[in-house]
Each structure stands twice: as C-alpha cells, then as structure tokens.
Amino acid sequence: MKKVMLICSGGMSTSLLASKVKKLAEEKGLDLDIFAIAAQETDEELEKQKLDLILLGPQIAFMKKQIQGKVADTGIPIDSIDRISYGMMDAKKVLEQIQGYFK
C-alpha cells in the first residue's frame, strides 16, 4: 500500500481532489491510500504517518522548500500538483502524476 498525502492551505480543495483520485484508484484496483490535510497539520501528520509521496496544491507550492526540509532525511518525494489538472479536479491526470513516482 502506497500512502500519498495531499496538502493545501485549509485542506478543503485538496480533499475534493483526494476523494476523486481515491475513487479512481479503487476502480482501477490500485493499492493507494490518498488523503488530504491542511498545511497547519503537516508536522503532526509527518510524525504519525509513514508516507510514500507528498503532493502540494499549486496555491501553496511556495511551501515546497519548507516541507522538503522537514522530510529531507526520509527521502519522501515531494512535488506540487499541476495547476490545470488541479483546477479541473482531473483525477486521471493527477493519478498519472502519482503513478509516475512509483515506477
């Protein structure tokens, strides 16, 4: 099971996306756990969870460096979600992006 954490400012709009991607992954029979959190919860979640990938909403892409510093020793990849696929809540494209890290 691969664990993917999506982060955005309030955790609201990424949770929209997360539930869509999760549904699509289930339909495809992929072993993925995808969930969304608010930026403020990052530290706590990093302590609690063993993650395989962190994706940021494009609106907080500027936090990439900051969060990267926190997970540097774990080697968890971290990236931001493509703007248009984020806006269109394009689960297919985002899932493709996610799978790209697990090849």
Q: How far is the CB of 58 from other proteins (least distance, A)?
A: 5
Q: Considering the complex, state which of residue 8 and residue 53 has its C-beta at the smaller distance from other proteins.
A: 8
Q: Which is nearer to other proteins, 40 or 49 (CB)?
A: 40
Under 8 Å CB-to-CB from 103, ≥6 apart: which residues? none
Q: How far apart are CA 36 and CA 13, in angstroms?
A: 9
Q: Which of 5, 6, 7, 8 is catalytic?
A: 8
| Rounded Cα gap, residues 41 and 5, in angstroms | 11
Query: Which residues bind to other proteins, rule: CB under 8 A?
Result: 8-10, 12-13, 16, 39-40, 43, 57-63, 65-66, 83-84, 86-89
Active-site annotation holds for 8: yes
Give the closest residue to 85 by CA, choosing from 98, 102, 76: 98
> Where in the sequence numbering do the catalytic residues fall?
8
